[in-house]
Amino acid sequence: MTGRTVDEITGGRRMRRNRRFDWTRRLVRENTLSVDDLIWPIFLIPGENRSEDIKAMPGVERVTPDLAAKKAEQAAELGIPAIATFPNIDIALRDDTGSNVLAPDNLINEATRAIKKAVPEIGVITDVALDPFTSHGHDGILRDGVIVNDETVAQLAAAAVLQAEAGADIIAPSDMMDGRIGAIRDALNEAGFSDVGIMSYATKYASGFYGPYREAIGTQDLLKGDKRSYYIDPANSDEAVRDAALDVEEGADMLMVKPGLPYLDIVWRLKETFGMPTFAYQVSGEYSMIKAAAQNGWLDGERAMMESLLALKRAGCDGILTYFALEAAKLLRQP
Ligand code: PBG
């Protein structure tokens, strides 16, 4: 007995025709990654002309504000639109309430000033969560074992104004407290910063992929318990849409999903639902997995990097926060 021919099975339709040549593949390509899609997260340490390697993130370093300005110059030369800064605060300055976030000249604000002075044309996005500043590594104020919402929100709003005064273009609250977007919007407006934008970490998951970041900002030994009482349960997606809807109503200009690759479905749902500028944060664990496998010769690191970034675009991202930004930009820049 002979089966049907392939043309009988497909009715003559053959998907491989369009995949035959490089030029046909380029013609039918639906998504592309460009330098304009990249936001580069940078880790900060106090001092001058100093950098430190981060063991859990091969190729990523922490740098002093003067060197952060140099990195910003490099990024701008490659056409990267924006950088995002994350401070590793001196342990002596960390306390229960994260009070150093309210020091106008704290590390993150000092870095913003240095970067803006050196490279005014690059966008500076600052995170306004408390975790780099607290002695317990939580994103909010801890009282009797509870992360208190409203008091934290008031402090974040005040900190956002200081970050805007230092020159931040976009405030990106990553703390997941309720009501923070509206409170930050009000505070910015009252202080005369109605042009400063808010990129909401709208759907930030209680994820295991943040591990290397905690080494980067020195919270790995501080953090007691976990962040499940304020980040979203990885099992949930309707809840993510609802949370994002509140942020949109409260005045967010852009939405972010974090982590990235394990949450492509969330990127897709948010983009479909709100049509807002939508970003993903390819977090430290995602970066380090690719780097570590590449270092072991287990996969082609460049290829996996570019594929992961393209996948985020395909899912609906307008841009991606990624530790690969500089490397990817260099590749994209090659003729
Ligand atoms: C917390 C914060 C986190 C990251 C950035 N800000 C998560 C956390 O420590 O719980 C993670 C970034 C990364 O993993 O690359 N406000």
Lookup result for tokens 């002093």: 64
Average pLDDT over residues 80-109: 97
Probe residue for ligand 1, chosen from 85, 227, 283, 288 as the CB with the greatest number of ligand atoms within 8 Å: 283
Which tens digit of pLDDT belongs to each residue from 236-267?
999 999 999 999 999 999 999 999 999 999 99
Whether 260 contacts 206, CB under 8 Å: no
- Residue pLDDT, tens place only, 25-60: 999 999 999 999 999 999 999 999 999 999 999 999
Instruction: Report how far apart, in Å, the C-alpha atoms of 125 and of each of 40, 81, 129, 178, 264 are.
Output: 10, 11, 13, 21, 23
Distance 69 CA to ligand 1 centre (A): 22
**What is the reported pLDDT for 1?**
62
How high is the mean pLDDT of the chain?
97
Give the pLDDT confidence score for residue 120 in this predicted structure. Answer: 98
Query: Is 204 an active-site residue?
Result: yes
Provide the Cα torsion 320, 134, 176, 147; round to 10°. Answer: 160
Count the helix, strand and coil residues of the chain and give each as a percent rounded to the nearest 5. 45, 20, 35
Determine the Cα–Cα distance for residues 148 and 128; give it in Å rounded to an integer.
16
Residue 335, pLDDT > 90, answer no
pLDDT reading at 224 higher than 90: no
SS3 at position 334: coil
pLDDT of residue 67: 98
At 334, the pLDDT band (50, 70, 90 cuts) reads: confident
Q: Whole-angstrom Cα distance, residue 333 to residue 97?
A: 44
Band (71; pLDDT cuts 50, 70, 90): very high
Distances from the Cα of 129 to the Cαs of 14, 51, 98, 101, 216, in angstroms? 52, 23, 9, 9, 15
**What span, in angstroms and rounded, lies between the C-alpha atoms of 78 and 333?**
7
Question: Catalytic pick from 70, 116, 204, 313?
Answer: 204
Q: Which atom of ligand 1 lies nearest, measured to the CA of 211?
A: 14
Which of 101, 171, 210 best tests ligand 1's pocket when mutated (most atoms within 8 Å of CB)? 210
Residue with tokens 């309430």: 97
What is the average pLDDT across 193-215? 96
Mark whether 224 is an active-site residue: no
